[in-house]
Structure 1
Amino acid sequence: MTKTGMIKQLKCAQRALIALILPILIFLSAPPALAQPDLTITPKSMTVAGTRGSSTSRSLLLRTTNTVNDLQIISLDLNTQDGQEIFPAKLIQPTLPDEEIEANSLLSIPIQFQLDDAPKSGEFSGELLIKFSETELSVPLTVRIKDPFPIPLGIISIGVILSIAVSSYRSRGKLRDKILVRVGQLRIQLRSDPQLAETSLTDQFNSIPNPFKTRIEGHLLDVEMALQGERWNDGNQAITQAESVWLKWRKGREDWLALLNYGQTLEEKIPATPDIDPPYLQSVRRNLQLAIREAPDQNPQDLYQQLDDLAKQINKYLQLDAKLRDLDNLLVETTISTQELQSWQRQQKNLRNKLNNLEPTDKKAGQELNGQIEKAITLLAKQIPANSTKLGFLITQPELLQKAPGIDTPRIVIQEPRLAEFRLWIFSAISYAIAIVLLAGSGFIELYTYKSTFGANLWGDYGVLLAWGFGAEASRDAITKVVANLDLPGLN
């Protein structure tokens, strides 16, 4: 055999050997076929949600291809995400069958979760381990637990009630209490002044009551009526007016006292007429009372000028009245005839009517009447004997008016301010406490509780806390002012 033929035979043998070995190698290197598992589980993962204080159950559906007689379901502790809390395995209680599981069968296994013994609310994650023969399977398990509803419902209800109470107090009670506090403070100041105190004896002996006290009591009555009608703006305006009257009295107290005493003197000087009240005196008395009553609206100089004018009018009446009385006395002593006497009497009556109906401010008419009376006196005096005692007769001063009873100003009883001040203090304290707790608490939870490495950066961590406090309070204050400027009901 030639060398060439031998080479050809070797190549053919080599090809045959490769063809024989290659299938064997391929067969040996191929992965084994996946064996069909003996048990399948549905669902592949389990999520349980419930309320703490109750229990709930879920079911696992098992499908078997072979007989299973050593099935075990092992509960493991479930952990929170941060690993700080666990849901104990003993609270997960699967109920296993007492008999073996036949091949090609379906079986539902209930699993009881005792949420009433859960340590706290939260989300717990872990797995259930299912073991049979030499096979182990796991089912991912998540348990979510929340607090029972009564407490959260109570908390949110309390929050709503507190919010309503605060809003109601802000829109109603706060304004009312502020007004009551101001009323109480004004009452204390009034009691410290003998002229304005409710127990003052001055008004009991004066026919003209203190106009400042009367005006203040009137404004306080307006305050009471406004508070009863929940008209807070009207009440605030009334107490402001009362305070303004009190301030005017305090500033010029000595001047006001002197002028009011002078006005009382003028009142006493007005003659009393038992039969009629002449229009002249009515006008003077009315103007005097009006000037005194409107004193809180004036300054001392204006009241002084009015009282001075009234004093001149009273003096003019007293002078003319005295001259007419002199004329009456002369008529008694005169020796003229009866006819002339009757004529003089008619003339004297006419002069008296002119005086009674004279306008107090009409100076010209007063001067004319004075001239007529003096002329009549001069003519009658000539007809009286020189030795008569009636000549030079001086009329005595007229009897002064009896003092009229003081005006009984109703006492306005308004609630003492102590309770109102206490409510305002409580409201302010609670408002600040809530702001501090909410702002500081939210920042503490956000920046400290949720940060497991807090304090590693001393200046950074604590600086952020400080900045949070300033920023949160600044934001709260800015938002409060913006909302207040909207003039919404209950925010004024």
Structure 2
Amino acid sequence: MKIFKLLKLSIKLATLGLLLLALGLFAAPSVNAQTEVITEPAQITVVGMRGTVVTRNIFLRTATPVTQLELIPLDLNSDDGGAVLSAQAISLEKSLGNLTQPNAIISQVKFDLRKVNSGEFNGKLRLSYKDGEWAIPVTVKVKEHWFLPLFILLIGAGLGVSVSLYRAQGRPRDEILVRVSQLRVQTQDDADLSKFKVFQSRVDSQLIDVKMALQGELWDEAQNAVKQAELVINRWLKGRGDWLAQLDYYEEIKQRLQDMDDRLPFVQAVVRSLEDALRDAPDLESPVKLRDRLQEIAEQVNSYIPLEAKMKQLISLNAQLSVKEAKSWQPKVQNLEQRMGSLQPGDLAKDANLGAEVEGAIAEITELLSQQEDMLDPTEVDFGVNVTGAIAKGVEFRDKIISLLGPPPSARLLSWEEQASSANLRLKVFTVSSYIIAIVFLAGAGFSQLYLDKPTFGDNPWKDYFALMAWGFGAEATRDAVTKVAQGGGLPGLK
């Protein structure tokens, strides 16, 4: 029994040994098969641009001499299967064997990317030789040529600069020009406005300020000037009829002044007051304010006219006195005449006794004349005429002396043409350089990140090109934002 068990055990051991021997025999060829072919590189990765040709060298060593090496063409597919790199784009160029090592060869494989879409393609490069074949994993990454992406990026940057410049300069200018055009239409279509020229002049003056502010790119000042011009037009439109009525009243007062001696200080002061009132009309809240000022001037004129008539009457009566009486009254009449000649509109209320003194003098001289029995002799008449003529000549001589005083000499302005030209050139160079430097740095960063760092740029054209354009557009927005932050921080050189 024991012998039988031992025999059975020995049979199992022998069977197990045979199985192990068989496994060893089968495994040895497999290991040899795995180690008999060596390729370098073990995996091929190709990165290139469309329109180019890329070559790779492959080292192949087998257990037997390599002869009749051929490339079995296979397509390379994208990850989603939507694009294919055709097998015709891959070819075996040449092979270099080694006589001392006939089982090793170096081959050159060409990848023609001239008719290949952008993207990533994966597959295997299968090589066939006389005693076998071998497959090498291949990854091909193709991206667009740099010219078109860079052009799209610059287009985006150009759009950003255009929008920024228009937002900073063009839009404020256009808004102001539209408002100016509306004002011009209102003034040209209003025939009554040409009658009240001071309103028209004020609007034209404000528009000149607008023009000068636009030339200096002072948008706030230009807007303020347009706003002031609009306020003037609004005041005119609200009280058109009343303004015209006050203008007629102004002409009536001015007509009354034409009958007076324009050399008198009173007349000159009243004329200036009239001109100031009319000149200030566009700044007044309503025609009522202008009416009040004209009424005040009219009251001054109405107070002066009777006083002037009495003074003329007094001078006429004084000329009729005898020589003896004329000599005694001449100083008093001259004093009254001098006070009358130097009278100002504001003195009518202060010097209220002047009218009473003139009336009293008229009454006294009239009484003296009534008491005279004899007619004045010629010498007395000549004396009165000579005295009056002497006074008139004195006034005329004084006016001539004043008229000889000319305006003060104007100051000669220094020439700034050269300084202005040089400064203008520096400003232009600085402005253009700042834009170029900012865009080159910002756009260069985007080009590097979105194009250079992406080996398959262009596989999704809408996404890739739109991202480049958006980055270029955003480069100017970033530059503008950084500039405004720097301006807010008060950094030197930034205004």
TM-score, with structure 2 as normaliser:
0.69
Q: Which residue of 2 aligns with 1:409?
A: none
Q: Which residue of 1 aligns with 2:345?
A: 360
1:367-400 Cα shifts (integer Å, max 9, x gaps): 42222222222233334569xxxxxxxxxxxxxx
CA distance in 2, matches of 1:340, 1:20: 181
1:48-95 Cα shifts (integer Å, max 9, x gaps): 111111111111111132112232211211122222221111111112
RMSD: 3.2
Moved more, 8-17 or 225-234: 8-17
Q: Which residue of 1 aligns with 2:365?
A: 380
Query: Residue type of the partner of 1:377?
Result: I
- Residue 17 (structure 2) pairs with residue 23 (structure 1): yes
CA distance in 2, matches of 1:308, 1:16: 148
Once the two structures are superposed, the pairs formed by residues 144-163 of structure 1 within 5 Å of their partners are 144-163=141-160
Q: Which residue of 2 aligns with 1:179?
A: 176
**Structure 1 residues 168, 353: closer, same or farther in 2, change over 3 A?**
same
CA distance in 1, matches of 2:89, 2:279: 88
**Structure 1 residues 154, 9: closer, same or farther in 2, change over 3 A?**
closer
How big is the shift at 1:195?
A: 3.3
Query: Residue type of the partner of 1:110?
Result: Q
Q: Which residue of 2 aligns with 1:263?
A: 250
CA distance in 2, matches of 1:98, 1:363: 125
Q: Which residue of 1 aligns with 2:206?
A: 219
Matched-pair contact (CA < 8 Å) for 2:77–2:121 = yes
Query: Residue type of the partner of 2:356?
Result: G
Q: Which residue of 2 aligns with 1:122?
A: 119
CA distance in 2, matches of 1:93, 1:194: 88
**Structure 1 residues 381, 39: closer, same or farther in 2, change over 3 A?**
same
CA distance in 2, matches of 1:287, 1:300: 17
**Structure 1 residues 217, 14: closer, same or farther in 2, change over 3 A?**
closer
- Residue 136 (structure 2) pairs with residue 136 (structure 1): no
Query: Secondary structure at the residue paired with 1:315?
Result: helix
Q: Choose which of 74, 82, 88 in structure 2 pairs with 1:90.
A: 88
CA distance in 1, matches of 2:183, 2:366: 64
Query: Secondary structure at the residue paired with 2:249?
Result: helix
CA distance in 2, matches of 1:101, 1:117: 38
Query: Which structure: greater helix fraction?
Result: 2
Matched-pair contact (CA < 8 Å) for 2:300–2:348 = no
Query: Secondary structure at the residue paired with 2:32?
Result: coil
**Matched residue count:** 379
CA distance in 2, matches of 1:22, 1:84: 54
Q: Which residue of 2 aligns with 1:279?
A: 265
How big is the shift at 1:214?
A: 2.4
Moved more, 345-354 or 147-156: 345-354
1:150-207 Cα shifts (integer Å, max 9, x gaps): 11111111211221121111111211111111111111111111133xxx4x4xxxxx
CA distance in 2, matches of 1:304, 1:95: 105
Query: Residue type of the partner of 1:354?
Result: R
Query: Residue type of the partner of 2:181?
Result: G
Query: Residue type of the partner of 1:182?
Result: R
Query: Secondary structure at the residue paired with 1:108?
Result: strand
Matched-pair contact (CA < 8 Å) for 1:222–1:238 = yes
Query: Residue type of the partner of 2:133?
Result: E
CA distance in 2, matches of 1:15, 1:308: 147
TM-score, with structure 1 as normaliser:
0.69
1:265-313 Cα shifts (integer Å, max 9, x gaps): 2122224666x72222222222222222222222222221111110011
How big is the shift at 1:254?
A: 0.9
How big is the shift at 1:38?
A: 4.4
Q: Which residue of 2 aligns with 1:230?
A: 217
CA distance in 1, matches of 2:129, 2:77: 25
CA distance in 2, matches of 1:357, 1:52: 99
CA distance in 2, matches of 1:8, 1:290: 148
**Structure 1 residues 14, 268: closer, same or farther in 2, change over 3 A?**
same
Matched-pair contact (CA < 8 Å) for 2:51–2:114 = yes
How big is the shift at 1:21?
A: 4.3
Matched-pair contact (CA < 8 Å) for 2:66–2:102 = no
Query: Secondary structure at the residue paired with 1:57?
Result: strand
CA distance in 2, matches of 1:328, 1:8: 182
Once the two structures are superposed, the pairs formed by residues 405-484 of structure 1 within 5 Å of their partners are none
Matched-pair contact (CA < 8 Å) for 1:67–1:100 = no
How big is the shift at 1:225?
A: 1.5
1:442-462 Cα shifts (integer Å, max 9, x gaps): xxxxxxx99xxxxxxxxxxxx
How big is the shift at 1:487?
A: 8.5
Query: RCO higher in 1 or 2 (8 Å CA, sep ≥ 6)?
Result: 2
**Structure 1 residues 342, 105: closer, same or farther in 2, change over 3 A?**
farther
How big is the shift at 1:110?
A: 0.8
**Structure 1 residues 346, 65: closer, same or farther in 2, change over 3 A?**
same
Q: Which residue of 1 aligns with 2:239?
A: 252
CA distance in 2, matches of 1:12, 1:347: 177
Matched-pair contact (CA < 8 Å) for 1:68–1:103 = no
Q: Which residue of 1 aligns with 2:323?
A: 338
**Structure 1 residues 10, 283: closer, same or farther in 2, change over 3 A?**
closer
